[in-house]
Structure 1
Amino acid sequence: MEQKKLRVLVTGVNGKLGGPTVEHLLAAGHEVVGVDRAPAKNRNIISLVADLTDYGQTHDVLGSVGWDILGDTVNGAFDVVVHLAAIPHPRMHSNSETFRNNVISTYNIFEACRRLGIKNIVHASSETTLGVPFSSDLPYLPLDEDAPLRGRNAYGLSKVVSEVVAAEFAKNDPELRVTALRFSYVQNVEEYAEYPEFADDIDYRIWDLWAYIDSRDAASAIEKALHYSPRGFETFLIVADDTAMPIPTSELIAARFPEVQLKRSFQEHETLLNTDAAKERLGWYPKHSWRDHV
């Protein structure tokens, strides 16, 4: 069945995930409007410049229809808002600024959607909500969406709080649908060239359970989430099927997590983050691996 073409607002269009997402959505036939603190690098979309930590600017761009001099703010201007804008890593800025930017901008997005009658939001969350950097006190493996939340640093805590904000907005509006995609370490193709450099260093990427997601697969997950119909708040782990290591997964676990409960056995290089929910409910499957490029 052909999917409906949608009018989509994407925040953070100039970011590492924003660019591939815009390209993927345009290729799928959607109308895309981009928001960032600078004009969109992609010249094929309408571009709006705004600071989403300012509520007035957020409300204005989420209600914008067109870019001519007569453009105005209206209710229901977009079918879906895809919220990718955020400080993407710990210690790029001070901890307090990371937390402030990510939480306030997310609240402003949800509040503006509430007031403007926008009922569909795709929110870029993170596997850091489950405890990155991961340590030996894991509840079980593979981790899934039911694992307890744990914000170990300002970035991870900002994502935990943002998920709580999203869940509470959804509780208060039975018509609202919030799909939170917990992306792992987003990687572009050119970054795979460095993977052989840490192939023998088991601890180099242990902080993330050796997980990653190709930016093209992350973008395809967002497009799948546009069409997800159940109302309410749901989270989905979006992770590549394999780890970033040439070492078999069973050996990684035996070396660093020997005491952790295993819910099932693992295939040779299988990821330690469970993506069954995204596959079964969103119909999303990752297609790309670093092994195809190295």
Structure 2
Amino acid sequence: MSDDKPRVVLTGAAGKLGRVVLRDLLDHDYRVLALDQVPPPGLVEGDDAQFVRIDLTDHGAVTEAVAGRTEERGGPFAGVVHLGAIPAPGLAPNGVTFRNNATATWNVFDAARAAGVRNVVWASSETVLGLPFEAAPPPYAPLDEEYRVRPESTYSLVKSLEEEMAQHFCRWEPSLTMTGLRFSNVMHVEDYARFPSFDHDPALRKWNLWGYVDARDGAQAVRLALQRRGPGVEVCIVANADTVMSRSSASLMAEVFPGVEVRRELGEHETLLSIDKARRVLGYEPRHSWRDHV
């Protein structure tokens, strides 16, 4: 590994988003300690990456890894990116999801603080906005970060608690910079072939206001968050600039959520998960769209 490149810890490096984040960081001259339970696909000889198998609920193992004690000359790290988790509701019993995700995140936050790492980026979730919008409609559109979180699942509840944890970690350690990225539904290019099928029934994707994020744009947001300066916590919605639908965003809201306030005039396919804060705070600008591939 080249010592003149910044080195970061990446948990969940083999996941749907993590593998793309890993490649993006390597392509932008970072060295990466990749943590997961299985090796990330796509690593090749010569990559500035080290894979370490880990159980993120093991506090001692996480503390050692973030302190650089995976090799005799490991660390220090310029930042920690925490993506590792049971990635959605319904994949495990609720108690398992809570125990795994809450413990893993506390372990990572605590290990970063103990090791003196001052920049932590982690995956929050669009679900804290009140998804899925089946039982209760959104409070308004486009959604933003200005209203109190509304978790509707144990998975989302943990994400809400992670955001609260970050507030207190930064209160305890005022030099910390912590950025929570409320990722929308992560998609790869191969997922886009089915998007046109959503048009026949707008209710199919109303659960998240027809949002998505291309994994490459999600990786961009992670990298920009690692570059954020200034202490304290920021949470940002990270979605693509458009929806998954061919129909206009205004017509979708009028048909499916006629009683919900639309707070401004909408662009033709404008996302209903506002990315204005991510643009302002991170300099984020989506570069990809499913429309370029279908």
TM-score by length of 1: 0.93
Matched pairs, number:
286
**CA distance in structure 1 between the partners assigned to 2:140 and 2:40 by the alignment:** 42
Q: Is this contact kept in 1: 2:170–2:176, CA < 8 A?
A: yes
Unaligned runs of 5+ in 2: none
Q: What amino acid sits opposite 1:56 in the alignment?
A: G
Aligned to 1:85: 84
Q: What amino acid sits opposite 2:26 in the alignment?
A: L
**CA distance in structure 1 between the partners assigned to 2:129 and 2:198 by the alignment:** 24
**CA distance in structure 2 between the partners assigned to 1:113 and 1:124 by the alignment:** 15
Aligned to 1:246: 246
Aligned CA-pair RMSD: 1.5
1:229-285 Cα shifts (integer Å, max 9, x gaps): 011010011101111111111111111211212221111111111111111221110
- SS in structure 1 of the partner of residue 140 of structure 2: coil
**CA distance in structure 1 between the partners assigned to 2:35 and 2:70 by the alignment:** 13
Runs of 4+ aligned structure 1 residues displaced above 4 Å come to: none
Query: Do residues 121 (structure 1) and 120 (structure 2) align?
Result: yes
- Percent identical among aligned pairs is 42
5 Å-filtered alignment, 1:68-217, equals 70-71=72-73, 77-135=76-134, 136-217=136-217
Q: CA deviation at 1:5?
A: 4.4
- SS in structure 2 of the partner of residue 199 of structure 1: helix
Q: CA deviation at 1:38?
A: 2.1
Query: Do residues 53 (structure 1) and 57 (structure 2) align?
Result: yes
1:124-166 Cα shifts (integer Å, max 9, x gaps): 1111111110244422211111122011011111111111111
Q: CA deviation at 1:96?
A: 1.2
- SS in structure 2 of the partner of residue 204 of structure 1: helix
1:30-70 Cα shifts (integer Å, max 9, x gaps): 11110001233324310111101110111011112563xx4
- SS in structure 1 of the partner of residue 204 of structure 2: coil
- SS in structure 1 of the partner of residue 166 of structure 2: helix
Q: Is this contact kept in 2: 1:10–1:33, CA < 8 A?
A: yes
1:89-122 Cα shifts (integer Å, max 9, x gaps): 1111111111111111000011111211111100
5 Å-filtered alignment, 1:247-262, equals 247-262=247-262
Aligned to 2:224: 224
- SS in structure 2 of the partner of residue 225 of structure 1: helix
Q: What amino acid sits opposite 2:111 in the alignment?
A: A
TM-score by length of 2: 0.93
